[in-house]
Amino acid sequence: MVLVQSATRPGDDRCCSDDVQVPTISRFLGLVITMYFDDHDPPHFHALHADGEAKVRIDTLELIDSTLSRRHVRFVVAWAELHQDELLENWRRARAGETLHPIDPLR
């Protein structure tokens, strides 16, 4: 089951927009991994944490933008390396307006 929640940062009760739905595809170590349905290229995902957030390209696993700690970035990139094909498939599904599949957390 994919958890769909309002676009909020973890621990924040305020919604950024009443009409934006952000599928949460994974959660681990206080990180929430999301992918927007109407996001722009290049294919990427968002990693949110109470202390920051990052946008990561799926094809190269390079940071597009980040305010996460280096430690959290290492966890996010390690997780993405393990699930790169699933992330690309979810990107394709998001572009097609299809339900995104959950991805196992980092263990």
Q: Is residue 62 part of a domain?
A: yes
Q: Is residue 56 part of a domain?
A: yes
Q: Residues 84-102: pLDDT tens digits?
A: 999 999 999 999 999 999 9
Output the pLDDT for position 70.
97
Q: Is residue 106 part of a domain?
A: no
SS3 call for 67: coil
Q: Is residue 102 part of a domain?
A: no
What is the token pair recorded at 73?
């970035």
Low-confidence ranges of the chain (pLDDT < 50): 1-19
Output the pLDDT for position 20.
53
Q: How many CB atoms lie within 10 A of CB 94?
A: 20
Residue type, 8: T
Which CA distances in Å does 106 have to 32, 67, 72, 75?
11, 20, 12, 8
Q: How many structural domains comprise the chain?
A: 1
